[in-house]
Amino acid sequence: MSTEINSTDMSANFRRISILGRLDIAGSDAISLKFAALAVGTGRRVVVDLSAVSFLASIGIRSIISNAKALQARGGRMVLMVGDNAAVSKTLETTGVDALIPLFFSAAEAEAAALA
Amino acid sequence: MNAVEHNPIEELLIRADVCEVSRATAWLKSASFERGVPEVEINRLELCLHEVLANIIAHGKTPSSSIGLQLDISRCEATVTVSDSCVACNPLAISPQPIPKTLAEANPGGLGVLIIRKTSDTQSYRYHEGQNRFTFGVRWKTHE
């Protein structure tokens, strides 16, 4: 299964990034450049939708953290949205990422937090 | 008990190459599913195997090295043993990195060992005759 990344600009400075498929070694490598390009932006607010991620490994988490740090350093903010994806939320909680990057189960909550 | 020293039900040999990781995880999922391992436990095994292989390939790779995989399944436990002839490395001896308080302090790497430790129920390591042998396992309850 291939890994895809798409984005929707909700406003000039607010973007939703959706990742679909596996964030394993191959999948993370396949989207890493595009993910970084989409996430970057001074003061940008970003919701990363992981609800359709079927597998999340540490290399995928590394990519998420790196991009979240880069965005924060430019005055932006990233939040994560997992929907009802229990496997992904479990991995994020296991690694403590949920304490570093806000994690939400609904799109509405994630968008509100990103814009707050 | 080290189950893999008895009769592993499935074995696979792969090259220590990132291109082989997906073949290894597909083998593990298929073999576990065919033997009735619950899906949620298969997912845990897959995640751990991915992290173990990623560590070996990233940190212990030599050009001609191969990696052996053994799967053993009992009534309510599945274990995977990963063997390689790379530099001796006990993942259980690696201290987890301190938990960062903020995103700015966070180190993006080093999460693989943490995932293995927290996702599997059992882990063991030994170095014998030039081989690292790392075993991890998951257990589940039966309703019988």
* pLDDT tens sequence across B75-110: 899 999 999 988 888 989 988 777 788 999 888 778
> Shortest CB distance from B18 goes to which of A25, A91, A101?
A25
In a domain, B144, yes or no: no
8 Å CB contact of B54 and A66: no
In a domain, B125, yes or no: yes
List the single best residue of B56, B103, B115, B119 to mutate versus A (max A Cβ within 10 A).
B103
Name the closest residue on chain A to residue B118, using Cα atoms: A94
8 Å CB contact of A25 and B108: no
The count of structural domains within chain B is: 1
Question: What are the chain B neighbours of A59 within 8 Å (beta carbons)?
Answer: 54
Question: What are the chain B neighbours of A57 within 8 Å (beta carbons)?
Answer: 47, 50-51, 54, 112, 115
**Tens of pLDDT along A50-87?**
999 999 999 999 999 999 999 999 999 999 999 999 99
CATH assignment at residue B118? 3.30.565.10
Tell me: pLDDT of B120 over 70. yes
The pLDDT > 90 percentage for chain B reads: 61
In a domain, B99, yes or no: yes
Range of the domain at B53: 10-139
B62 band by pLDDT with thresholds 50, 70 and 90: low
**Tens of pLDDT along B11-22?**
999 998 889 999
**Tens of pLDDT along B49-58?**
999 999 998 8
In a domain, B47, yes or no: yes
Averaged pLDDT, B36-62: 90
8 Å CB contact of B103 and A65: yes
8 Å CB contact of B43 and A66: no
Tell me: pLDDT of B40 over 80. yes
Q: Give the pLDDT confidence score for residue A3 in this predicted structure.
A: 95
Tell me: pLDDT of A8 over 70. yes
Which residues have CB under 8 Å from B123's CB, separation 6+? B91, B92, B116, B117, B134, B135, B136, B137
In a domain, B34, yes or no: yes
In a domain, B95, yes or no: yes
Residues of chain A that touch chain B, judged by Cβ-Cβ distance less than 8 Å: 24-26, 55, 57-59, 61-63, 65-66, 68-69, 72-73, 87, 91, 94-96, 99-101
B112 band by pLDDT with thresholds 50, 70 and 90: very high
Tell me: pLDDT of A26 over 60. yes
**Between B92 and B142, whose confidence is greater?**
B92
List the single best residue of B50, B56, B114 to mutate versus A (max A Cβ within 10 A).
B50
The pLDDT > 70 percentage for chain B reads: 90
CA distance A114 to A97: 16
Q: Give the pLDDT confidence score for residue A2 in this predicted structure.
A: 87
Ordered DSSP codes for chain A:
---EEEEEEEETTEEEEEEEEEESHHHHHHHHHHHHHHH--TT-EEEEEEEEEEEE-HHHHHHHHHHHHHHHHTT-EEEEE-TT-HHHHHHHHHTTGGGTS-EESSHHHHHHHHH-
Q: Give the pLDDT confidence score for residue B101 in this predicted structure.
A: 86
Q: Give the pLDDT confidence score for residue A14 in this predicted structure.
A: 96
In a domain, B126, yes or no: yes
Query: What is the interface pTM, i.e. ipTM, of the complex?
Result: 0.89
Q: Say what the pTM is.
A: 0.90
A93 band by pLDDT with thresholds 50, 70 and 90: very high
Kindly state the tokens that stand for B26.
């597909």
Rounded to 10 degrees, the C-alpha dihedral B91/B7/B49/B31 comes to -170
Q: Give B31→chain A minimum CA distance, Å.
A: 18
In a domain, B39, yes or no: yes
The helix/strand/coil state of B68 is strand
Averaged pLDDT, A93-108: 96
